[in-house]
Amino acid sequence: MPVYNQEIYRKEKHWKEGEFDVYRNMQWTGPGCHEGCGCLFYVKDGKLDHIEGDPNDEFSRGRLCMRCLNMVDEAVNNPTRLGHPLKRAGERGENKWEQISWDEAYDMIEEHVRKAWETQGPEAIVALEGTGRNVVWQVPLLEYSAFKSPNYGCGFLSGDSCYLPRCSASVGVLGGPSVVDCGQYDARRYDSPEYEYPEVILQWGCNAIMTNADGFLGHWIIDCMRQGGTKLITVDPRITWMAAHSEYHIQVRPGTDAAVAMAMLHVMIEEDLVDHEFIDKWCFGYEDLVEAMKDATPEWAAEIAGVTAEEIVGAARMYATAKPAAFHWGLSTDMTPNGVGQAHAFMVMQAITGNVDVPGGNYLATGPFGVDALYGCGYDYFIDDELKKKRIGVEKYPLHKFGAAACLVGDELLLQIEAGEPYEIQVMYLAGTNPIVNMAAEAPRVYKAMMKVPFIVVADLWMTPTCTAMADLVLPIAMSCERDSYREWWTPSRAITKITQYEECKSDEEIIVDLSLRLNPDGVPWHDVESLLNWVLEKDNAPMNWTQLKDQMYAYDFKGYRRYETGKLRPDGQPGFNTMTGKLELRSTLLEAMGYHDLPFFEEPPESPVTRPDLFEEYPLVLTTGKRHWEFFHSEHRNMPTMREFRDQPEVEIHPADAEKLGIEDGDWVWIENQRGRCREVARVTPIIKEGVVCADHGWSFPEKEAAVPVLQGVFDVNINNLTTQGVVGETGYGAPYRCLLCKIYKCTPENSQVTPSDLVFGTKA
Ligand code: SF4
């Protein structure tokens, strides 16, 4: 009997309902988040009126969260949206703009791009994107096809600390990323006769029901718990809802996760809880692993992480003996310089217990029909080998040439802009990224560096602080329901269809077409958005083009389980995994060939109570940042009244015992400070955070405040990235310590608030 009856809901793409035209579609940002939940868009007189979840979307099954439910009035039809191209009229930061036409905007871009080509070469043009929103293939494609430059990257995210460490490590260990199997790759979902619910899901460094990250919806875990009796194990310094519903909750000190994971591997090996048959046949380097984990005892890890050895042993036994067991790994994996070593331990755990590519285990996720429309799409088509070598930072950090995203190294870009060597960056194009509010560690330093770039274009939905502070040209971008687009985050392929138009906004796809036809007319195989989207699928020989996909909306490409037996994981069609040895590489030959640790390893964070006792004396709290809220996606949504009604101010969680020692009460404004800077947030005194650790919000600005410099929506006064670091990355260049630094906290008073961080950034006070 199906667990979910969708037959009672309509399945057409469009129908009439009273005064409304109803369109089935999906919401890929912006606004929103990483996902593409299915929506019913209710349109009246050509204008979007309201939105509901689409029960026939297999991915989200009718569920929407508060950001999407409120987006029509508060985002799509919000009169503060950008609706026309704007050219800077005053000095940078003055917030004075002149409305211009798209042709004039393109003239400006063309002039600066051609000048960069002539004076330096295309590499002097950099394009940056934000998180995995619906610009992941569009920004690199614009950069490669129109600007002919290899230098595309993330918006100064140090260590590319979002999914890239995990994904790149997975290329060398599993042959690609692995994701908890909640049946999402098969259109039959939980009703498939092949599907099995995980007996256990181990969730590590993630609060999936708030995060909904990277093609995975947290409510699927709840489905598994309710329908399949799945039990949870959680590793997190915070007592989240999921942690509270777990059999084991290991409350680690941030940045010590790899030690705990290695100790769990130690227990599994010592107690012989591993799948020998699978290891013998499909894994490489087991003996090396056994040797490397020999000393990683639970007692050793417990002391490092501030947990008990019993918890580690119990969790290891529970995960290893469950069949199947699944492993959900969150962003905190990436947000430590030890991220690749930690990810390696997590993948090995999945492998030696025989839980890779099995129903209800960890599925090896691939692009549907071989289409690579994720990060780095278009790389091979427009950039020659000589230009590839000019990608900033990849010779120093060659793992960036592989993995999920072949992109520039953001930390190295910052150094290059600061030094002006080996050449100056002349043009910067930012899409869907707001670096000085959100991604950029050491935001004041990044702000100063970006101000040196002579010409900056920002393509966005709103006049963000990054736009106001440094844009020379602002392009208004269409929201999800206003664009024709192709999207995937693993299977299925999805076609997004344009429903409405807002003012003069254009989609990223339209901008690619317009600029590539201006700047590289003989080099691109498209002439409009439809032919561009058809090309995205046709270049990889997908069995349908976008025009066909548009009719069916989704195309699943589920190739069954245990594909290592059927040859469906390797390009040569042979059984095995898509690694150098064809096996799951417990010891990675790729990492070894590059001179990196080839087995899981632990390193203390560079600024921790252990590595820097001198700093710890002055800054006695461990600082972690970046947790998610229902109301916001990174720096977005602060201008939506409903979100602010629920959460109006940035908060820092502090344990009652720590708060008492510091004389801090719930609701006090406090300064959070370390040797790089400080910011202020509201203290939330709560036992859900581990004692000795504070957890500070990121991404805050106040759209209701003055936009111009030096206020700039108050961003630098509340920016936790005044305290984070650039260039303190792992050996591979991946992973940075956003989640494991040191700080102190004290109450804000009039005396200690006379000179604010904004004053220091803008030089308004000594
Ligand atoms: S997870 Fe929430 S914000 Fe993201 S697309 Fe789905 S409903 Fe919208």
Residue-by-residue DSSP string for 627-652: ---SS-STTTTTT-HHHHHH--S-EE
pLDDT score of 398: 86
Q: How far is the CA of 449 from the centre of ligand 1 (A)?
A: 34
Helix axes 257-270, 339-352, angle to 10 degrees: 20
Task: Tell me, in angstroms, the distance from the centre of ligand 1 to residue 541's CA.
Answer: 30
Q: What is the pLDDT of residue 410?
A: 94
Tell me whether strands 693-696 and 621-625 are parallel, antiparallel or unpaired: parallel
The closest of 509, 514, 517, 513 to 485, measured between CA atoms, is 509
**Strand ranges of the sheet holding 554-555, from the earlier edge strand across to the other edge:** 485-487, 493-496, 554-555
Are 31 and 460 in contact by the 8 Å Cβ rule? The answer is no
What is the reported pLDDT for 371?
Answer: 80
Under 8 Å CB-to-CB from 281, ≥6 apart: which residues?
none
Answer for the pair 606, 335: CB distance below 8 angstroms, yes or no: no
Check pLDDT > 70 for residue 285: yes
Instruction: State pLDDT tens for residues 661-688.
Output: 999 999 999 999 999 999 999 999 999 9
**Among 326-335, 393-402, 521-530, which stretch is predicted with the lowest mean pLDDT?**
393-402
Ligand 1 centroid to Cα of residue 252, in Å, is: 29
Check if 37 has its Cβ closer than 6 Å to any atom of ligand 1: yes
Angle at 157 between CA 155 and CA 161, to 5 degrees: 135
Q: Are strands 178-180 and 362-364 parallel, antiparallel or unpaired?
A: antiparallel
**Any atom of ligand 1 within 6 Å of the Cβ of 27:** yes
Long-range contacts of 16-19 (CB under 8 A, 24+ apart): 17/42, 19/44
Q: Is the CB of 481 under 6 A from ligand 1?
A: no
Q: What is the mean pLDDT of the chain?
A: 94
Residue 619 contacts by C-beta under 8 Å, 6 or more apart in sequence? 673, 674, 675, 742, 743, 744
Give me the DSSP letters along 128-171: EE-SSSTTTTHHHHHHHHTS--S-EEESS-GGGTTTHHHHHHHH
The domain spans of the chain are: 14-76, 86-161+369-555, 178-364+571-593, 613-762
Task: For the chain, give the number of residues.
Answer: 766
pLDDT recorded at residue 4: 67
**Cα Rg for the chain, rounded, in angstroms?**
25
What pLDDT, in 10s, does the model give residues 10-68? Answer: 889 999 999 999 999 999 877 888 889 999 999 999 999 999 999 999 999 999 999 99
The CB of 65 under 6 Å from ligand 1? The reply is: yes
Nearest 10 degrees: Cα torsion 454, 460, 463, 466: -40
Kindly give, in sequence order, each residue whose CB lies less than 8 Å from that of residue 8, ignoring residues fewer than 6 positions away.
none
Average pLDDT over residues 434-438: 96
Half-sphere exposure of 484 (CA within 13 A, CB side): 16
Q: What is the pLDDT of residue 132?
A: 66
- Report the atom number in ligand 1 closest to the C-alpha of 67: 3
Q: Which atom of ligand 1 is nearest to the CA of 212?
A: 1
For a pocket test of ligand 1, which of 40, 60, 72, 212 has the largest count of ligand atoms closer than 8 A to its C-beta?
212
**With bands split at pLDDT 50, 70 and 90, how would you rate the model's confidence at 703?**
very high
Residue 689 is classified by DSSP as B
Backbone phi and psi for residue 431, each to the nearest 5 degrees, phi listed first: -130, 125
Q: Which ligand 1 atom is the nearest neighbour of the CA of 60? A: 6
Look up tokens 């704007």; give the residue: 86
Cα(183) to centroid of ligand 1, in Å? Answer: 19
Q: How sure is the predictor about 165, in pLDDT bands with cuts at 50, 70 and 90? A: confident
**Structure tokens that stand for 574 in this block:** 């042979």
**Residue-level pLDDT at 548:** 95
Q: How far is the CA of 64 from the centre of ligand 1 (A)?
A: 6
Residue 242 in this model has a pLDDT that exceeds 90: yes
Lowest-pLDDT range of 23-27, 98-102, 405-409, 742-746: 405-409
- Ligand 1 centroid–CA 653 distance in Å is 25
| pLDDT tens digits along 734-759 | 999 999 999 999 999 999 999 999 99
3-state secondary structure 352-401: HCCCECCCCCEEECCCHHHCCCCCCCCHHHHCCHHHHHCCCCCCCCHHHH
In the chain, the largest separation of any two C-alpha atoms, in whole Å, equals 71
Q: Is the CB of 70 under 6 A from ligand 1?
A: no
Q: Going by CA atoms, what residue is nearest to atom 8 of ligand 1?
A: 68
Would you say 173 and 584 are in contact if contact means Cβ atoms under 8 Å apart?
yes
* Percent of the chain predicted with pLDDT > 70: 98
Give dist(CA 308, CA 155) in Å, integer: 39
CA 211–ligand 1 middle distance (angstroms)? 10
- DSSP secondary structure code for residue 506 in this structure: B
* b/e code 632-668 from CB counts within 10 Å (16+ = b): bbbbbbbbbeebbeeeeebbbbbbeebbeebebeeeb
- Residue 509's pLDDT is 97
Residue 488 Cβ contacting ligand 1 at under 6 Å: no
- List, for residues 716-726, the tens digit of each pLDDT value: 999 999 999 99
Tokens read off for 596: 């990196």
* pLDDT greater than 80 at residue 376: no
Judge if the beta carbon of residue 634 lies within 6 A of ligand 1.
Answer: no
> In angstroms, rounded to a whole number, what is the distance separating the alpha carbons of residues 475 and 125?
17
Given a contact cutoff of 8 angstroms between Cβ atoms, the answer to whether 26 and 38 are in contact is yes
Answer whether residue 1 shows pLDDT above 60.
Answer: no
Q: Which residue has the higher pLDDT, 406 or 566?
A: 566
| Structure confidence at residue 722 (pLDDT) | 98
258-283 pLDDT tens trace: 999 999 999 999 999 999 999 999 99
Number of H-type helices and E-type strands within the chain: 28, 28
- For residue 215, the CA-to-ligand 1 centroid distance in Å is 11
67 CB under 6 A from ligand 1? yes
Within 8 A by CB and 6+ apart from 62, the residues are 9, 38, 52, 53, 54, 55
Q: Is 68 touching ligand 1 by the criterion CB < 6 Å?
A: yes
Cα–Cα distance for residue pair 710/717, rounded to 1 Å = 11
For the CA of 39, the closest atom of ligand 1 is 7
Provide mean pLDDT across the span 109-128.
Answer: 97
Whether the CB of 64 sits within 6 Å of ligand 1: yes
CATH class of the structural domain 613-762: mainly beta
Pocket of ligand 1 contains residue 33 by CB under 6 Å: yes
SS3 of 511-579: the string is HHHHHHHHHCCCCCCCCCHHHHHHHHHHCCCCCCCHHHHHHHCEECCCCCCCHHHHCCCCCCCCCCCCC
Say whether 200 sits in a helix, a strand or coil.
strand
Find out whether 633 and 214 touch, Cβ atoms under 8 Å.
no
The Cα angle at residue 392 between residues 391 and 396, in degrees rounded to 5: 105
Give the pLDDT of residue 97: 98
Q: Which residues are registered as beta bridge partners of 43? A: 21, 48
Predicted confidence at residue 64, as pLDDT, reads: 95
- Between residues 404 and 468, the one the model is more confident about: 468
Structure confidence at residue 164 as a pLDDT band (50, 70, 90): confident
Q: What are phi and psi of 668, to 5 degrees?
A: -70, 140
**Residue percentage of the chain with pLDDT more than 90:** 87
Fold of the 14-76 domain? N-terminal domain of TfIIb (2.20.25)
Q: Is the pLDDT of residue 116 over 90?
A: yes
Alpha carbon distance, N-terminus to C-terminus of the chain: 71
Q: Apex CA 551: angle with CA 548 and CA 555, to 5°? A: 70
Residue with tokens 């278009």, as numbered in its chain? 378
Q: Kindly report the protein residue whose alpha carbon is nearest to atom 3 of ligand 1.
A: 32
Is a pLDDT exceeding 60 seen at residue 109?
A: yes
Burial of 49 (C-beta count, 10 Å sphere; 0-12/13-18/19+): middle
For the CA of 63, the closest atom of ligand 1 is: 7
In the predicted model, is pLDDT for residue 380 greater than 80?
A: no
Query: Distance between alpha carbon 312 and the CA centroid of its chain, in Å?
Result: 28
- The string of pLDDT tens digits covering residues 330-367 is 889 999 999 999 999 999 999 999 999 999 999 999 88
* Ligand 1 touching residue 32 (CB < 6 A): yes
Closest CA to ligand 1's atom 6: 37
**65: Cβ contacts below 8 Å, ≥ 6 apart:** 37, 212, 630
403, pLDDT greater than 60: no
Q: Which two tokens stand for residue 399?
A: 């793992």
- For residue 485, pLDDT beyond 80: yes
Indicate the residue type of 229: G
Q: Which of 54, 58, 65, 74 to mutate to test the pocket of ligand 1 (most atoms within 8 A of CB)?
A: 65
- Compute the distance from residue 170 Cα to the ligand 1 centre, in Å: 27
Query: What class is the 178-364+571-593 domain?
Result: alpha beta
Q: What is the mean pLDDT of residues 208-224?
A: 92
The gap from C-alpha 523 to its chain's centroid, in whole angstroms, comes to 31
Residue 5 binned pLDDT confidence (cut-offs 50, 70, 90): low
Residue pair 369/555 in contact (Cβ under 8 Å)? The answer is yes
**Whole-number pLDDT of residue 3:** 61
- The answer, yes or no, to whether residue 2 has pLDDT greater than 60, is no
The whole-number average pLDDT for the span 534-546 is: 90
Provide the 3-class DSSP secondary structure of residue 44: strand
Q: What is the mean pLDDT of residues 224-228?
A: 97
Angle between helices 164-173 and 339-352 (to 10 degrees): 50
Using CA atoms, how far apart are residues 532 and 538, in angstroms rounded to an integer?
Answer: 10
CATH of domain 86-161+369-555: 3.40.50.740
Indicate the pairing of strand 200-204 with strand 231-235: parallel
Q: How confident is the model at residue 150 (pLDDT cuts 50, 70, 90)?
A: very high
Distance 670 CA to ligand 1 centre (A): 32
